[in-house]
Amino acid sequence: MRISIALCTYNGSKYLREQLDSLFNQTLKPHEIIVSDDVSTDETISILKEYQSRDSDIKLTIIENSSKLGVFKNFPYVINKCSGDIIFTCDQDDLWMPNKLEKHMQMHGLDMTIDLVYSNADVVYNDIGHYLYPLWEVKSIQNKEKGQASFESLVIKGRSIAGCCMSFKKSFVEQIYPFPNDVYHDDWIATNACLAGKIHGISESLIKYRQHGNNAVGIVRGGKLSFIKSLFTNVPFYVKSDMYIYKRHQKVYDALNKSKLSMNLVEKYHLNDNLVFYQNRSCYGKLPLLKCVKLLFDNLMCGRYRYHHGIFTFMKDLYNLLFIKLFRIDLDA
């Protein structure tokens, strides 16, 4: 099977060499690396051309976009340019373990019905040696590979598989084009793969997932002090995240209804109910305080907080709502 790596770049010169070295030094070589650059103004293009001129069996193709596509459109664009049977999506600032491609392709080779394979990652801060925590708990990965658990966690609860940790069949992704606008490519691919029930997880950490404050998408956990601080500084971030998840569910569900993939009645019920759950939670900036409180209590009385972390999430929603209204925070800013 031919292997493609789809890499998106934008002003990524700081970490790009380290990432490219890890791609070229894989124990199982990719057949091609397709790079879509989103109008970088730093040294990104010159670094890419340096690696392109190397004497290597790996073909590196550079696409220089004439206008900026943005994070939502650039990955679907470059994925569509790949010719391989299996496609790996890649960020510009991580580092892949030498056996990542080999491990993924072993799974694809063992079961030809698998549409998507995803692996764990070591989350690191700036320096590759500054380890923070695993992206997934090992137990979670082992549970999620069983189809229904994947659907429950990744689709219903709004979590996602990081694109830099996944590989998928070209033939599968062709079935789910076009990608919805304003929905991350990995959300869309993982959701469809979960619904198709053809997904497998690898518990081993196969990349260093770098967090440095300028990530297009990223995650950061903290200790108790960070949590306390977040009660005052990160409320708009968490609320906007819930608003994004509602938008994602809405767009994904609308797109699923038009796609070739079918859902059973239970999956449709949970998607509809979960859509109401997140819709009610996205009311902060649109409705008066009392109406927002009523919607949150509706979620509680209907048992919808089972889609998240139960009563803890309900209390946090109330706190966030009061914080937003009390300080008159503009969520559109």
Interval 268-295: pLDDT, tens? 888 889 889 989 988 887 899 999 999 9
pTM score of the predicted model: 0.82
The per-residue pLDDT for range 203-216, each reduced to its tens digit, is 999 999 998 655 44
Q: What percent of the chain lies above the pLDDT cut of 70? A: 87
pLDDT, mean of residues 139-167: 75
Q: Tell me which of 318 and 333 has the higher pLDDT.
A: 318
Classify burial at 262, counting beta carbons within 10 Å of its beta carbon; exposed 0-12, middle 13-18, buried 19 or more.
exposed
Range in 10-19, 111-120, 209-218 with the lowest mean pLDDT: 209-218
- What is the CA 195 to chain-centroid distance, rounded? 16
The per-residue pLDDT for range 16-61, each reduced to its tens digit, is 999 999 999 999 999 999 999 999 999 999 999 999 999 899 999 9
**What pLDDT shows up at residue 30?**
98
pLDDT, mean of residues 141-167: 75
Indicate the residue type of 211.
Answer: Q
- Show Cβ contacts of residue 260 under 8 Å, excluding neighbours closer than 6 positions: 175
pLDDT, mean of residues 63-73: 95
pLDDT, mean of residues 237-254: 78
Confidence of residue 298 (pLDDT cuts 50, 70, 90): very high
Confidence of residue 149 (pLDDT cuts 50, 70, 90): low
CA geometry: angle 302, 304, 308, nearest 5 deg: 155
pLDDT, mean of residues 301-323: 91
Q: How many CB atoms lie within 10 A of CB 81?
A: 14
**What pLDDT shows up at residue 222?**
46
* CB of 91 closer than 8 Å to CB of 163: yes
**What pLDDT shows up at residue 215?**
46
**What pLDDT shows up at residue 147?**
59
pLDDT, mean of residues 239-253: 78
What's the distance, Cα to Cα, between the start and end of the chain in Å? Answer: 47
What is the average pLDDT value for the chain, to the nearest integer?
86
Q: What percent of the chain lies above the pLDDT cut of 90? A: 52
**What pLDDT shows up at residue 191?**
83
Range in 77-81, 121-125, 168-172, 299-303 with the lowest mean pLDDT: 121-125
pLDDT, mean of residues 169-191: 88
Per the document, the length of the chain is 333
Confidence of residue 221 (pLDDT cuts 50, 70, 90): very low
Query: What does the DSSP assignment read for 66-85?
Result: SS---HHHHHHHHHHH--SS
Confidence of residue 261 (pLDDT cuts 50, 70, 90): low
Confidence of residue 148 (pLDDT cuts 50, 70, 90): low
Dihedral of alpha carbons 271, 276, 277, 279, sign? positive
Confidence of residue 230 (pLDDT cuts 50, 70, 90): low
pLDDT, mean of residues 134-141: 79
**What pLDDT shows up at residue 172?**
93
- Spell out the domains of the chain, with CATH numbers in brackets: 3-211 (3.90.550.10), 224-326 (no CATH)
**What pLDDT shows up at residue 130?**
84
Question: What CA–CA distance (Å, rounded) separates 167 from 51?
Answer: 23
**What pLDDT shows up at residue 133?**
87
